[in-house]
Amino acid sequence: MSGLSESIPRPEELSRFGAATKPRDERTYLAVPFQEKDEAKQLGARWDGRLKAWYVPAGMDLAAFHPWLPAMGEVYIAVDSDPREEFAKALRECGLELNGPPEMDGNLHRVPVEGDKQGDRSGAYFGHLDGRAAGFIQNFRSGVKTSWKASGAALAAEDRARIAADAAQKRHERALERERQYEHAAQEVDAIWAAAAPVQSHPYLEDKGVPSYGLRQAEDGRLLVPVQDADGKLWSLQRVALDHSKLFHEGGRVEGGHFVIGDVNKPGPLLIAEGYATAATVHTLTDAPVVVAFNAGNLASVARTYRTLFPDRLIGIAGDNDRKREAGGKPNVGREKAEQAAASIKGFAILPQFNQAGVGSDWNDLARGDVTEARLQLKTGIAIAEREALAREFGSRRERAEALRHEHARKVGETCLER
């Protein structure tokens, strides 16, 4: 047992910390070492593959699981020895912003970084506690990308199990609290949206040269863009001020949220863009339905939602082209996120191309400078994607037909041999 064990309460000590053993109406995570997993499973514990920890289902008596119950959901580990504290420090030094300790479950986690707008998550990390704790950190805004290893000795199995149980329990409770906050915010924005007036004109829309596709205006004059799910439920609102600054409703769900411009069931390609002005521009120039994802980090989530709804449809990402950042040696986040989202659904990405003197980064910028060029680029890009999709479909059909011919020939040959 490592030195960390001295600061972790043993099972027999749990009672003095008040560990609950009565049934709970929520699942309870356990500190089960690997060598004891079969015993815990036999008693009724279940494995959470996402959080990598064992838990007791809601409503089950906890008494039988007493040896594996963390004290009051806490794991007491000396700060200078806890790899989570060390990893958290490294994450913050790279500009990543955390809400609580880092999740060291081996999965990739996205978080905001210094300088991000509300709703953006330009930081990524993963960490694990197996053997000697280690991880990986990436800040897409600054370009920082680095590996990390704990300076201390490897954790004992019991310590890893207790840390995993503690992390899983806290993550589960945070998720439940987030859902409660989301539902509360949804009720608030429902009331705000109902009280707002439909708007056809607004200074922001006039500056961008786009119409209002179902938007409303709040009493304070700010433009309201709804953030909905695929069923149309309103989860949040994006408020756009006269100075073009944008804010989402506090506590509202944004991840996976979107807003549809046009008839999403209209035959033909479906396009997804970052901001409202960009999406409105693309819809106006192509007449295709366009989904507003609100930011680059949300493109992939929205794209997956619509791939599930339309498994065989041609879906494209009308992304931003952050070429000025690229010229300055920084990542072209708009291009990278658009291409990643397109690849994740086997769709296509189309980015605006500017001449050297061109100003801006998105389709609205290009259209305001040269609307004919913007329309040409969009329609050409979509036409190329459609031809490539048809070619793939033709090739796939030909391969299937060839396979059927070979199978038929094989069966005929077998029949002849039997005779």
pLDDT in tens, 339-361: 999 999 999 999 999 987 778 99
Residues 219, 356, single domain; the answer is yes
Residues 234, 340, single domain; the answer is yes
Evaluate if residue 154 carries a pLDDT over 80.
Answer: no
Q: Are 158 and 99 contacting, i.e. CB atoms less than 8 angstroms apart?
A: no
Residues 245, 340, single domain; the answer is yes
Asked whether residue 118 is assigned to any structural domain, the reply reads yes
DSSP state of 249: P
Query: Which of the two residues, 118 and 365, has the higher pLDDT score?
Result: 365
Q: Are 277 and 365 contacting, i.e. CB atoms less than 8 angstroms apart?
A: no
Q: What residues contact residue 405 under an 8 Å CB cut-off, 6+ apart?
A: none
- Predicted confidence band of residue 215 (pLDDT cuts 50, 70, 90): very high
> Which residues on adjacent β-strands are paired with residue 271?
290, 316
Q: Which domain range does residue 95 map to?
A: 82-155
Residues 207, 139, single domain; the answer is no
Mean pLDDT of 42-47: 87
Residues 261, 352, single domain; the answer is yes
Q: How far apart are the first and last CA of the chain?
A: 72
Highest mean pLDDT (candidates 100-109, 213-222, 320-329): 213-222
- Predicted confidence band of residue 376 (pLDDT cuts 50, 70, 90): very high
Evaluate if residue 276 carries a pLDDT over 90.
Answer: yes
Q: Are 321 and 334 contacting, i.e. CB atoms less than 8 angstroms apart?
A: yes
Give residue 2's pLDDT: 37
Residues 149, 225, single domain; the answer is no
What's the total number of domains in the chain?
Answer: 2
Give residue 408's pLDDT: 60
Mean pLDDT of 259-265: 97
Percent of the chain with pLDDT over 90: 54
- Predicted confidence band of residue 307 (pLDDT cuts 50, 70, 90): very high
Domain boundary among 123, 155, 187: 155
Specify the pairing of strand 109-111 against strand 123-128. antiparallel
Residues 151, 204, single domain; the answer is no
CA–CA gap between residue 301 and residue 217 (Å, rounded): 27
Residues 379, 233, single domain; the answer is yes
Residues 138, 259, single domain; the answer is no
Q: The CATH number of the domain where 258 resides is what?
A: 3.40.1360.10
325-330 long-range Cβ contacts below 8 angstroms, 24+ apart: 329/143, 330/141, 330/142, 330/143
Give residue 81's pLDDT: 58
Evaluate if residue 21 carries a pLDDT over 90.
Answer: no
